[in-house]
């Protein structure tokens, strides 16, 4: 009898490889780390091969694991295409949307409410991450719709808005400007640092955080100046001062995957409309 490899276990296997850790993979496939470990143990039993070995804290593919990875990706791609083709016109769920923090804080609630009215039976999974990470997940078909930022001249720009400085103006009196930024990679962080370096303004990173709410609180508290747009820091006054260099514009983009069912197509349409209205 041929061995049957369950697609859910193959999906977990690919997720571990792509994320580089059990912890991050568990967040993607919505399983505990212990459940994920049991799945990989089961997969190794089915193929009768060890798929990973450890190098310190890192999980590294064995040679059989590398071979299986290529086939697993192809199996999952064909599986997803088959489901999309057979269920055309029907909700196959879940609908998976990813957003950068700025959009998640300001429009995710409204988007989910509108989508739920149209598809009350639908399951929706939401992920918040940086644009680059979201694009990788979209390319791997782990998300259906993403909202992020791009260069102002991006072909798929739905809205273009100027970046601006925010923070207490008395901070500009300091010899070294304290800067509040999100962790790298971040388009706004890079724009701020590049502009200051080009203008010869000395600065130091006073606050670095992965969380936009924490960044906002730090700027409110007068701990540093930051770079964002008025769309997402409307509760803060712009720091308009000739000592601060000009900043570039940034584009808001929405990207969606291929072979979407009707519900995911509607989700993409709603998302584009909400972003275009900003």
Q: Are residues 154 and 99 in the same domain?
A: yes
Instruction: Report the 3 state secondary structure along 224-267.
Output: CEEEECCCCCCCCCECCCCCCCCCCEEEEEEEECCCCCHHHHHH
Euclidean distance between CA atoms 92 and 196, whole angstroms: 49
134 with 190, same domain: the answer is no
DSSP state of 170: G
- Domain count within the chain: 3
Looking at residue 78, its pLDDT comes to 86
- Residue 2 forms part of a structural domain: no
Lookup result for tokens 């799945």: 39
Nearest to 156 by CA among 142, 164, 145, 140: 145
**Residue 35 falls inside a structural domain:** yes
Distance CA 232, CA 229 (A): 6
Q: Is 121 domain-assigned?
A: yes
For 198, the domain range is 164-247
73 and 192 co-located in one domain:
no
Burial tier of 209 (Cβ tally within 10 Å: 0-12, 13-18, 19+):
middle
Same domain, 74 and 176: no
Task: Indicate if 193 and 242 belong to the same structural domain.
Answer: yes
Q: Are residues 142 and 271 in the same domain?
A: yes
Same domain, 15 and 81: yes
Residue 82 CA neighbour count, 13 Å, CB half:
7
State the CATH number of the domain containing residue 272.
Answer: 3.40.190.10
Point out which residues pair with 157 in neighbouring strands.
253
Asked whether 146 and 99 are in contact (CB, 8 A), the reply is yes
Cα–Cα distance measured from residue 255 to residue 225, given in angstroms and rounded to the nearest whole number: 31
**C-alpha to C-alpha distances, 123 to 159, 263, 272, nearest whole angstrom:** 29, 10, 20
146 assigned to some structural domain: yes
pLDDT in tens, the chain (278 residues): 678 898 889 988 998 898 888 887 877 676 788 888 899 999 999 999 999 988 877 888 999 999 999 999 999 888 877 766 665 545 555 788 999 888 887 787 888 888 877 777 777 888 888 899 999 988 888 889 999 999 999 888 888 989 999 988 889 889 999 999 999 889 999 999 999 999 999 999 999 998 888 988 999 899 999 999 877 666 667 777 888 999 999 999 999 988 777 778 888 888 888 888 76
Q: Are residues 258 and 242 in the same domain?
A: no
- The pTM assigned to this predicted structure is 0.63
* Domain contains 1: no
Q: Are residues 18 and 135 in the same domain?
A: no
């Amino acid at each position: 009898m041929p061995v049957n490899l369950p697609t859910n276990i193959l999906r977990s296997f690919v997720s571990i490889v792509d994320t580089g850790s059990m912890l991050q993979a568990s967040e993607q496939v919505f399983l505990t780390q212990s459940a994920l470990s049991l799945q990989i143990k089961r997969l190794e039993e089915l193929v009768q091969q060890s798929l990973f070995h450890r190098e310190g804290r890192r999980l590294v593919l064995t040679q059989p694991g590398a071979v299986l990875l290529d086939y697993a990706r192809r199996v999952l791609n064909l599986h997803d295409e088959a489901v999309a083709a057979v269920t055309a016109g029907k909700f196959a769920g879940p609908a998976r949307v990813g957003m950068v923090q700025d959009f998640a804080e300001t429009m995710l609630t409204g988007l989910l409410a509108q989508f739920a009215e149209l598809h009350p039976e639908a399951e929706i999974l939401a992920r918040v991450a940086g644009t680059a990470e979201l694009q990788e997940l979209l390319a791997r078909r782990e998300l259906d719709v993403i909202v992020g930022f791009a260069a102002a001249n991006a072909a798929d720009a739905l809205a273009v808005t100027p970046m601006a400085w925010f923070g207490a103006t008395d901070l500009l009196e300091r010899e070294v400007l304290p800067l509040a930024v999100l962790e790298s990679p971040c388009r706004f962080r890079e724009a701020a640092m590049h502009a200051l370096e080009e203008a010869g303004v000395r600065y130091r990173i006073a606050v670095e955080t992965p969380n936009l709410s924490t960044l906002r609180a730090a700027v409110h508290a007068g701990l540093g100046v930051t770079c964002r747009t008025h769309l997402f820091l409307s509760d803060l006054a712009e720091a308009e001062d000739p000592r601060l260099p000009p900043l570039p514009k940034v584009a808001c983009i929405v990207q969606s995957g291929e072979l979407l069912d009707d519900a995911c197509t509607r989700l993409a349409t709603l998302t584009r409309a909400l972003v275009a209205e900003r």
